[in-house]
Structure 1
Amino acid sequence: MTAPLVAVAHGSRDPRSAATIHALLDVVRAKRPDLDVRAAFLDLSAPRLGDVLSAVHGDGHDAAVVVPLLLGRAFHARVDVPAAVAEAERRYPRLQVQVSDVLGPDPRLDAAAWRRLLEAGADPDDPELGVLLAGAGSSHAPANQLVADVADRWQAQTSWAGAVATFAAAAEPAVPAAIELLRARGARRIAVASWFLAPGLLPDRITALARDHATDPLIAPPMADDEDLADLILTRHAETLGVPHLPVAL
């Protein structure tokens, strides 16, 4: 029996966030209908990771793979997830819980954010467009650098006036400064790409600031239930088990 995939997201008071995570996992299940896929959250949403691992144990499983739905290795990946897993293993010594790598960096994340931006109307050949790639922000510098690296790659492959990372909290540049930077490079129009999986407080903060500091900015939605994102989650599960990821056809 393959170890269940327990996908753990951060959680939010915004109900749109959990609904989006569940929709993403529905895509994962459609790709692998043979696999037990469960949603969990670290905070602010239910069910919590510890409760899901308890249910996995209660259902008779002796192993599980936790896949953090996190875009970089910041505090939640380095502290919160391991702590919750350690507590579950303390309570259930016969339950073997493995934790996969986080989702990023991976080209499939870049592709998902890129598709959302193009679907929102961004033109890669527009030399007067300035693009903000908006992430949550972290005190862990490598997590922020991951977002900046994606923006740099986009800049190199387009005709845009500029593409820069911006952050909702804990890192610079914030949205107003990022917009000014793009204007200094010649941008006359502003678009905001989303380095978020789901809607919530931080994406809304980014959107509000963009609309306060730019005229009619183009706003791309979060990555949400992107097919590549679902495939990436399955890849992380398979990598952890040391087996190939082979989607099962419906």
Structure 2
Amino acid sequence: MWGVIHVKAILFVGHGSRDEEGNEQVRQFVQTILPQIDATFYVHTCFLEFGVPSVIDGIVHCVERGATEVIVIPIILLPAGHSKLHIPAAIDEAKERYPYVSFTYGRPLGIHDATFTILQDRLEEAEIVLDEHTAVILLGRGGSDPDANSDLYKIARLFWERNKQVIVEPAFMGVTNPSLDEAVVKCVKLGAKKIVVLPYFLFTGVLIKRLEKRVFEFQSIYPHISFVLTHYFGFHPSLQTIVLDRLHEALSDSVQMNCDTCQYRLHVAEHHHHHHHHHDH
């Protein structure tokens, strides 16, 4: 008697960008980790927005390839509305459509020891000397979820714990405060002679290109201070470590974030039924 073949699929979820270069970076990154994933898994990549396929289309694709188990891994920096609401909503839809398929949902990249290896390397690549005259602004996207915003503060604090001789300030590109401009003013008041902007962004896009222009403007406003924009956090080799750790957690059922009981998700789900937003990426 023939046995039933159970296909397991891993579906990586990128945020997605209006800038196709950013979407291609996600696809290329997934290609780099394929050799470290058991060849029996079917691996596919999808996007929350702007890129194709969408999350639900990505799940459909995996099921059409014969998957009876789909492990969904978000390649998203911090836990916020996307990972708490929009991906679980797509999984819920898929569960109704495919009751015979089991789903496992991993957690976002979050705070990991390798995070600080990447930040340190970005500074070294820019030949930054970390001393008492240097300020590092860790610049996040910014959002409406307090968890994600506070995680950036935690990363900034833990980074300072490893580099106590330097000023480290968190800031956000939009939605919430402190803004980049406010962080620059604070660093100037604290006596910084060099201000380094380190973008905590996973991929290039509209905001990174806007940021390049803004840092150039800062140099004109504060001619007595040196400004440096490092490479964004990005798809550094150590990011493979973080993503593979999140995958292994999901495969071993040790994921430490339960979105089904998350109070933020339950509250927002009552008030938001669709994913409509107008920010740039």
- Both structures adopt the same fold (TM-score exceeding 0.5): yes
**CA apart distance, 1:64:** 1.0
2:73, 2:246 within 8 Å by CA — same for their partners in 1?
A: yes
Q: Which runs of structure 1 show a deviation greater than 3 angstroms over 4 or more consecutive aligned residues?
A: none
Runs (5+) with no aligned partner, structure 2: 1-5, 255-281
Aligned to 1:248: none
State the 1:50 CA deviation.
Answer: 1.0
Q: 1:155-205: CA deviations, max 9, x gaps?
A: 333265411111111111111110111111111111111211111122333
In the alignment, what sits opposite 1:191?
Answer: 196
TM-align CA RMSD: 2.0
Q: Matched residue pairs, number? A: 243
- Work out the CA distance in 2 between the residues paired with 1:237 and 1:156: 28
Choose 4-13 or 222-231, whichever is displaced more.
Answer: 222-231
Counterpart among 99, 118, 126 of residue 124 in structure 2: 118
Q: Within 1, Cα distance between the matches of 2:191 and 2:164?
A: 12
SS in 2 for 1:177: helix
Deviations 1:15-49 (CA, angstroms, capped at 9, x unpaired):
12111111211221132262432211011111111
Q: Which residue of 1 aligns with 2:64?
A: 58
1:102 maps onto 2:112 in alignment: no
Q: Percent identity?
A: 23
The equivalences for 1:1-250 within 5 A come to 3-32=8-37, 34=39, 35-124=41-130, 126-158=131-163, 160-214=165-219, 217-242=227-252
What runs of 5+ residues in structure 1 fail to find an aligned partner? 245-250
Which of these two proteins has the greater Rg computed from alpha carbons?
Answer: 2
- Aligned equivalents of 1:33 and 1:98: distance in 2? 17
- CA-to-partner distance for each residue in 1:104-150, whole Å, 9 max, x for gaps? 021222322321222122222x3221111111001111211111122
Q: Which residue of 1 aligns with 2:264?
A: none
1:229 to partner: Cα distance: 1.1
Code of the aligned partner of 1:9:
G
Give TM-score, length-normalised by structure 1. Answer: 0.89
Q: State how far apart, in whole Å, the 1-side matches of 2:158 and 2:216 are.
A: 25
CA offsets, 1:42-100, max 9 Å, x none?
11111111111111101111001111111221111111111111112222221212110
Q: For the structure 1 residues 232 and 3, does the alpha-carbon distance in structure 2 shift closer, same or farther, using more than 3 Å as the test?
A: farther
Higher mean alpha-carbon deviation, 127-136 vs 27-36, is at: 27-36
CA distance 1:41–1:18, change in 2 (3 Å): same
Per mean C-alpha deviation after superposition, the further-off stretch among 141-150 and 151-160 is 151-160
Higher relative contact order (CA 8 A, sep 6+): 1
Q: 1:2 to 1:95 in 2, by over 3 A?
A: closer
8 Å CA contact 2:122–2:233 kept in 1: the answer is: yes
Q: Please, what TM-score do these two structures have when normalized by structure 2?
A: 0.80
SS of 1:187's equivalent in the other structure is coil
Q: 1:145 to 1:68 in 2, by over 3 A?
A: same
Pair 31,226 (structure 1): closer, same or farther in 2 beyond 3 Å: farther
Q: Is the 8 A contact 1:161 1:187 kept in 2?
A: no
